[in-house]
Amino acid sequence: MNTKILTIDLDTRAYDIFIGTGLLSRLQDFIPDDVKKRSVFVITDENVTQYAQTVSEAATNLGASKVEVIVMPPGEGTKSFSSMQKISEFMLSNGLNRNSLIFAVGGGVIGDLAGFCASIAMRGVEFIQVPTTLLAQVDSSVGGKTGINTAQGKNLIGSFYQPSAVIADIETLKTLPKRELLAGYAEVAKYGLIQDEEFFKWLEQNGARVCSLEQDAVAYAVEKSCRAKALTVEADEKEHGRRALLNLGHTFGHALEAAAGYNGLLLHGEAVAIGMVMAFELSSRMGLCSNDDVERVEKHLQDIGLPTRAAYIDGLSTTVDDLIEVMRRDKKVVSGNMVFVLVNRVGEAFLSADVPEDLVRAVLKDSLGDEEKGTKGKWKSKFSSHS
């Protein structure tokens, strides 16, 4: 299969995204010649050290002056001040200089953390993203958002810092737990729902092939998603307007994630799947999209194996008031008004700061379900986190 190359065109900093199979085994084709004589740091987590090792060997063979692999524990908890300190100090005492090169090999956690470290080390050293989850390949590795979590919330400390390349080897998805793969799929579907009904139709027909990792289907889905994200980021790098559409389902989703507690009960993509259904439901109640659209979206996500209602998450215990409270604290709140991504139909999303709170509450209540009606705990992930 051919390698696809997409260029992200940001005036001063253009860079390429490479998408294909087996890219890591011929990394010399993608990483710049100038690895030569530079000190290289490969930041990764325990579950993907094999890919970090491949990157490290390639850098050595290409003549890097030194290569260090830094292995972090997996999981959201790693996006912390203490990891940032540990990585920064390790690099500083192991030959970091302005000419160093940092690789982020892993999912969104590693990409965000390593990208943030790269952006502040010596006021910025070059870094390359090697995303190994579907979510990172279609979303978090593209667009230059980096950051860590604090006690006050997720991603509240960070920077905009673009990588010099993104190398998305879809072969790495073969070792990704299925549940993680499906969670990433929610972000793929999101691009169709926001601005591309044709793509959503394609997903309705081919989503199952994507999730069983048929190469042509995955490559197409990753490429389409990266292209959609790239266009959005080019138009609005720092999220003053259009980029915010990428938050479809995320205001609801972030609230659910916070309520679930970031401990694996609810993955980000799963929360986004539920959140997107809520965004459609809200839009339908506001007379914007049809109820058929709501059902269509819910059906597709369900067919794929994603949860579509908060009630389906066994062990999630929260209330409408709690969720509203978290939504108010979201960093996307503009001068007191919650901003929502709404839809006119599948493939046409827009922003609105003018949403009646009683409708938001009604949608939340509906998704949380009703113990008596037996809607609770209906969705069980068929996949444990590390199957």
Question: Catalytic site residues?
Answer: 123, 145, 187, 229, 239, 243, 247, 250, 254, 268
Residue nearest to ligand ADP (CB): 107
The reply on whether position 44 binds ligand ADP by CB under 6 A is no
The reply on whether position 74 binds ligand ADP by CB under 6 A is yes
> Where does this chain touch ligand ADP (CB under 6 A) — which range of 15-23, 32-40, 44-52, 185-193?
44-52
Cα distance between residue 318 and residue 252, in whole Å: 13
Distance of closest approach, residue 174 Cβ to ligand ADP, in angstroms: 7
Applying CB under 6 A, the site for ligand ADP has a residue count of: 19
Is residue 63 within 8 A of residue 33, CB to CB? The reply is no
* Residue 76: how many other CB atoms lie within 10 Å: 17
Distance of closest approach, residue 190 Cβ to ligand ADP, in angstroms: 14
Amino acid at the residue 119: S
Strand partners, 6: 17
* Cα atoms in the 13 Å half-sphere on the side-chain side of 60: 10
Strand partners, 343: 349
Say which DSSP state 334 is in: B
Distance of closest approach, residue 105 Cβ to ligand ADP, in angstroms: 9
Near ligand ADP in 267-306, by CB under 6 A: 268
The reply on whether position 158 binds ligand ADP by CB under 6 A is no
The reply on whether position 55 binds ligand ADP by CB under 6 A is no
Helix axes 178-195, 197-211, angle to 10 degrees: 170
The reply on whether position 341 binds ligand ADP by CB under 6 A is no
Amino acid at the residue 210: V
* Residue 146: how many other CB atoms lie within 10 Å: 27
Say which DSSP state 138 is in: I
Near ligand ADP in 175-194, by CB under 6 A: 175-176, 180
* The only residue of 52, 104, 108, 233 in contact with ligand ADP, by rule CB under 6 A: 108
The reply on whether position 39 binds ligand ADP by CB under 6 A is no
Cα distance between residue 268 and residue 262, in whole Å: 8
The reply on whether position 130 binds ligand ADP by CB under 6 A is no
The reply on whether position 135 binds ligand ADP by CB under 6 A is yes
The reply on whether position 47 binds ligand ADP by CB under 6 A is yes
Q: Name the nearest CA neighbour of 340 among 329, 331, 352.
A: 352
Nearer to ligand ADP, 108 or 207 (CB): 108
The reply on whether position 136 binds ligand ADP by CB under 6 A is yes
Distance set, CA 188 to CA 193, 211, 272, 321 (Å): 9, 11, 11, 30
Distance of closest approach, residue 205 Cβ to ligand ADP, in angstroms: 25
354, burial (CB in 10 Å: exposed 0-12, middle 13-18, buried 19+): exposed
* The only residue of 17, 19, 48, 346 in contact with ligand ADP, by rule CB under 6 A: 48
Report residue 4 CA to chain centroid gap: 20
* The only residue of 21, 39, 172, 225 in contact with ligand ADP, by rule CB under 6 A: 172
State the residues that interact with ligand ADP by CB under 6 A.
45, 47-48, 74, 106-110, 132-133, 135-136, 140, 172, 175-176, 180, 268
